[in-house]
Amino acid sequence: MSALSQSHEASFQEVFMSALDRAMLLLGDSGREATYYHIEKVLKLKRSMWHRNPEAFTEALKQIFGPQGSRLLLNAIAKELMAQLNLKIQEKTVSLPELIRLAEQYTRGGGNLTEEKSRRKLEHAKAKHPHRRR
């Protein structure tokens, strides 16, 4: 990994974790920390990998909180991430894993990522990798 890509990786991880920390405060400090502990120790998903494997992270929240509880948290995480990066995407149009990937692309390329641009990027990515689960 080059120094530039390591720098980008670290900065996006910081943005993601900051958004995550703020959103997870819905659970209170102790609830947030207990959830993080459970994801890392019980479900064996390292914190440093949550933004790199958003599907596994999303599944971990679903295992802990069920479909209804996880939906509330996932929406809060999406809103925080978009607010921190000033993204203009309706969170209902993309899943959290897709949003995390778009946000990471956004931090790489800069500029304003509108909903239309994000849809085109998603369609392009899906056409390029139709077998890949999103």
- Residue 92, domain member (yes or no): yes
- Residue 121, domain member (yes or no): yes
Q: Is 113 helix (H, G, I), strand (E, B) or coil?
A: coil
- Residue 134, domain member (yes or no): no
Q: How confident is the model at residue 87 (pLDDT cuts 50, 70, 90)?
A: confident
pTM: 0.73
Share of the chain above pLDDT 90, in %: 51
Cβ atoms within 10 Å, residue 68: 7
Q: Which domain holds residue 28?
A: 3-128
In terms of phi and psi (left: phi > 0; alpha: psi -120 to 50; beta: otherwise), the region of 22 is alpha
For residue 47, give the CATH number of its domain: 1.10.1200.200
Counting every residue written for the chain, the total comes to: 134
